């Protein structure tokens, strides 16, 4: 195995200091593991744009709610390493939970506005956990560039806002959603789905596709929401939200003049899935 596994925080910092001292650039892909093609697309872009590629695998407890799937979140470190070697990734940073959150840890990084709606409504504390762990990882890995998928669009916007507001000297590179051949957005949580549930879950990407097609003639955000909602409801899955929001602020909007985000969250069986698309008159 050629990939270097670093488990200790100080060792990771020292590695990155040495890379930086050589004047080289570090590209970073933070993940919770159980990798799929979406993650690999981020790592390949990091490979293209940086001389050293670091990926982290850490199932972050602070971004899971008390009734969420922390304990059963899928894990397969050996398979993840094998996949990362195909990129290749140089270093995988896989810290222990007790090192990341020692007993008296009590500091939170919170982005307030962008995290208010959409997934922030149904998952209180989730984004606070995400921005806190990403701030920590940024300080440990010290990257020049960090790569995030647009599948978790609200997460991407929260991190971009955190980086701007806290003046992290890091370029955030957003990367497009990667989909299965049948159009289901790739997610580690797809592993939970039975074949029948997988087939039900296609309603999400189908609703997204319909919204994209109808966008040119749509006059209001409501029309787009209605089209998507109909498709989701027909599939008999439990819709958490279908919303059109301003693509920059993620605030609710009725107008379609500025770029908007159509975002969906729904539960298929016990599995919570999300999907989205940015729609813009200019593009």
Give least dist CB 99 to a copy of itself, A. Answer: 10
Window 120-159: contact mask with a copy of itself (x via CB under 8 A): -----------xx--xx--xx-x-----------------
User: Which residue is listed with tokens 């955190």?
Assistant: 162
238 touches a copy of itself (CB under 8 A) = no
169 touches a copy of itself (CB under 8 A) = yes
Of 251, 244, 243, 221, the C-alpha closest to 114 is 251
Say which residues have a Cβ less than 8 Å from residue 182's Cβ, sequence separation at least 6: 202, 205
Window 191-230: contact mask with a copy of itself (x via CB under 8 A): ----------------------------------------
User: Which residue is listed with tokens 């999300």?
Assistant: 274
Helix (H) or strand (E) segment spanning residue 26: strand 26-31
Residue 119 CB neighbour total at 10 angstroms: 20
Give least dist CB 138 to a copy of itself, A. Answer: 9
114 touches a copy of itself (CB under 8 A) = yes
Pairwise CA distance, residues 49 & 207, whole Å: 34
- Per CB under 8 A, the list member of 1, 21, 78, 216 interacting with a copy of itself is 21
Of the listed 8, 36, 39, 198, which one is catalytic?
A: 39
Tokens of 18: 């040495």
Say which residues have a Cβ less than 8 Å from residue 84's Cβ, sequence separation at least 6: 3, 35, 40, 43, 55, 92
Residue placing its CB nearer to a copy of itself in the complex, 109 or 185: 109
11 touches a copy of itself (CB under 8 A) = no
Residue 8 annotated in active site: no
Helix (H) or strand (E) segment spanning residue 274: strand 271-279
- Per CB under 8 A, the list member of 2, 67, 98, 167 interacting with a copy of itself is 167
Total residues binding a copy of itself (CB under 8 A): 34
Residue placing its CB nearer to a copy of itself in the complex, 9 or 40: 9
């Amino acid at each position: 195995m050629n990939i270097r596994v670093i488990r200790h925080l100080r060792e990771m910092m020292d590695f990155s200091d040495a890379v930086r001292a050589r004047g080289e650039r570090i590209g970073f892909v933070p993940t919770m593991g159980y990798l799929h093609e979406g993650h690999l697309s981020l790592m390949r872009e990091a490979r293209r744009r940086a001389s050293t590629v670091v990926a982290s695998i850490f199932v972050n407890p602070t971004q899971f709610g008390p009734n969420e799937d922390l304990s059963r979140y899928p894990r397969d470190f050996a398979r993840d390493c094998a996949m990362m070697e195909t990129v290749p990734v140089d270093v995988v940073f896989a810290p222990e939970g007790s090192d990341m959150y020692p007993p008296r840890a009590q500091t939170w990084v919170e982005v307030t506005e962008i995290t208010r709606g959409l997934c922030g409504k149904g998952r209180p504390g989730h984004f606070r956990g995400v921005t806190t762990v990403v701030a920590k990882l940024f300080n440990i890995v010290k990257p020049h560039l960090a790569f995030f998928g647009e599948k978790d669009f609200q997460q991407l916007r929260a991190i971009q806002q955190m980086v701007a507001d806290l003046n992290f000297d890091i370029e955030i590179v957003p990367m497009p959603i990667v989909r299965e051949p049948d159009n289901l957005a790739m997610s580690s949580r797809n592993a939970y789905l039975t074949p029948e549930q997988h087939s039900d879950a296609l309603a999400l990407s189908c609703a997204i596709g319909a919204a994209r097609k109808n966008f040119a003639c749509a006059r209001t955000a409501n029309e787009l929401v209605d089209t998507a909602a109909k498709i989701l409801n027909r599939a008999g899955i439990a819709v958490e939200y279908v919303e059109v929001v301003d693509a920059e602020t993620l605030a609710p909007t009725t107008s379609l003049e500025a770029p908007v985000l159509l975002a969906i969250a729904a539960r298929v069986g016990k599995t919570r899935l999300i999907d989205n698309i940015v729609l813009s008159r200019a593009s």
